[in-house]
């Protein structure tokens, strides 16, 4: 049996496996994939943080189901997704490169013209499951600006490590780097 870390997310206790990501760093791994009830719970709480946004954007892939549920809770027809690979339907896209704590190499985010267009001139909420180093957030901010949107709010389920000291983001709970 491995090591676990328990966090309280707005009154809900969540147990997360501790995973080593380098010789010096371990993280409490928060995973919404397949966790329908937890995703719905977190989305309801995150939607409260970004009330008033016209559109939601997230990064592929751990934020996808969260963005879907937040957008639905806000009454939005669409939400935008920054993809980690250019898809065939993306003939006219915008992109940027990012580095995050859970990605070993620098990666590129791609945003389809459709997703860029739904943000143009709109108040955009950037959401994701966890903020740590802010690398993915930085990439999403670049994409929102390139698309002509206005960054309205930046909200996360969890702020990891020093991210909890940031004054430009909102979150439901904090977790340490271990």
pLDDT digits (tens, 9 = 90+) for 151-162: 999 999 999 999
Q: Residue 102 has what pLDDT?
A: 57
Mean pLDDT of 37-64: 96
Q: Do 83 and 95 form a contact (C-beta atoms < 8 A)?
A: no
Q: pLDDT digits over 120-129, tens only?
A: 999 999 999 9
Q: Tokens at residue 110, please? A: 């791609």
If one compares 149 and 107, the residue with the highest pLDDT of the two is 149
Helix axes 64-74, 36-49, angle to 10 degrees: 50
Q: Residue 1 has what pLDDT?
A: 59
Delimit the domains of the chain by residue range. 36-173
Burial 108-117 (b: 16+ CB within 10 A, else e): ebbbbeebbe
Mean pLDDT of 3-20: 96
User: Using CA atoms, how far apart are residues 149 and 145, in angstroms rounded to an integer?
Assistant: 6
pLDDT band at residue 9 under the 50/70/90 scheme: very high
Please give the model's pTM, rounded to 2 decimal places: 0.92
User: Using CA atoms, how far apart are residues 152 and 25, in angstroms rounded to an integer?
Assistant: 32
Q: Which fold has domain 36-173?
A: Rossmann fold (3.40.50)
99 pLDDT above the threshold of 80: no
107 pLDDT above the threshold of 90: no
Average pLDDT of the chain is 93
Q: Residue 100 has what pLDDT?
A: 61
Indicate the SS3 state at residue 4: strand
41 pLDDT above the threshold of 80: yes
pLDDT band at residue 98 under the 50/70/90 scheme: confident
């Amino acid at each position: 049996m491995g090591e676990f870390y328990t966090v309280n997310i707005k009154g809900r206790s969540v147990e997360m496996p501790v995973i080593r990501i380098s010789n010096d760093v371990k993280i409490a791994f928060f995973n919404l994939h397949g966790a329908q009830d937890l995703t719905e719970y977190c989305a309801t709480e995150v939607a409260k943080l970004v009330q008033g946004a016209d559109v939601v954007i997230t990064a592929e892939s751990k934020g996808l189901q969260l963005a879907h549920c937040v957008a639905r809770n806000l009454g939005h027809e669409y939400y935008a997704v920054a993809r980690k690979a250019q898809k065939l339907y993306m003939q006219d896209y915008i992109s940027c490169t990012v580095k995050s704590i859970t990605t070993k190499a620098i990666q590129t985010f791609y945003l389809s013209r459709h997703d860029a267009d739904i943000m143009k001139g709109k108040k955009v909420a950037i959401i994701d499951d966890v903020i740590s180093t802010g690398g993915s957030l930085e990439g999403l901010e670049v994409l929102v600006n390139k698309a002509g949107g206005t960054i309205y709010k930046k909200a996360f389920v969890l702020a990891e490590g020093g991210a909890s000291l940031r004054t430009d983001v909102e979150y439901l709970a904090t977790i340490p780097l271990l």
